[in-house]
Amino acid sequence: MKDAIFKGAGVAIVTPFTETGINFQELGRMIEDQIANGTDAIIITGTTGESAAMTDEEHRAAIKFAVEQVKGRVPVVAGTGSNETAYAVQLTEYAEKVGADAALVVTPYYNKCTQNGLIRHYTMIADHVGIPLILYDVPSRTGVSIKTGTYAKLSKHPRIAAVKEANGDLSAILRLRKACGDNLDVYSGNDDQIVPILSLGGKGVISVLSNVAPRQTHDICQLYFDGKVQEAAKLQIDYADLIDALFCEVNPIPVKAAMRLLGYNAGPLRMPLTDPEPDHLEQIRAALKNHGLLK
């Protein structure tokens, strides 16, 4: 059994951009608000953080800033994935150097490697660092799925510790849990599947919802861990409308709009992402109001 990187709700935090770079002052404010409201881990430079649209300098600076801002109060997980293995190794080495607690590594996108390629890719990264890796399976974005047998092989590596599973297939997650047991922790990558994945032995969620409702997302997990399964399920169900609103367009378009509505200077999206359509913006606004997050 490997030590859990975190247990509960980790926020896949947005990156507040200016027209020329990152608004570090506002990122610091967001991180502080997350910690104050019970978030169990900060996941920096993930998909929600628009890492794919960052320069290498920005990517590294955001990771370093998050580590320095958090000061060890909760784990910091750095998104260091790439479709090019050598670059993923370099980013992960950098994340370890500046003090990140773990790395979140998405499957290589566009190249669409084989399962053997995935094994070699992840093994090479894990062999080069001393921090644990969280694999990230999100086939809707990458075109690649990690198969059960691949999980079973990768889970034997001492530094491949967990997976953020966003394939939406609970049956596949069941088989992954059967194949890997305690050698590979599972985090939900979908906010509408937190409780179902916890029921299969999951350790928590890497969450978009946590950006706007950190306490509630934490509480969904904590209630479950405390044995209050019905209460956890009720809270999950209650927030279905907000979760739907946050995914009414491709992430992170809706959540950055929501953060701006809540008074954060979340800044612009990086092209080619664009602001939500007016009807979707109203959906986001209505959902925030429905839960008392916006007056």
Return the pLDDT at 177: 97
- Percent of the chain at pLDDT above 70? 100
Write the burial class of residue 168 (CB in 10 Å: 0-12 exposed, 13-18 middle, 19+ buried).
Answer: middle
Helix/strand/coil for 111? coil
Return the pLDDT at 116: 98
Kindly list the catalytic residues.
Answer: 136, 164
**Residue 1, pLDDT above cutoff 80:** no
Over range 91-101, report the average pLDDT: 98
DSSP classification of residue 17 = B
Return the pLDDT at 2: 83
The residues, ordered by sequence, that sit 6+ positions from 279 with a Cβ below 8 Å of its Cβ are none
Chain segment 74-88, per-residue pLDDT in tens: 999 999 999 999 999
Task: Give the pLDDT band of residue 231 (cuts 50, 70, 90).
Answer: very high
CB 15 within 8 A of CB 273: no
Q: CA-to-CA distance for 265 and 185, rounded, in angstroms?
A: 34
Nearest CA among 291, 240, 212 for reference residue 48 = 212
Mean pLDDT score of the chain? 97
Fold that domain 8-232 belongs to in CATH: TIM Barrel (3.20.20)
Domain assignments of the chain as residue spans, ordered by start: 8-232
Which residue is it, tokens 């429905």?
Answer: 290
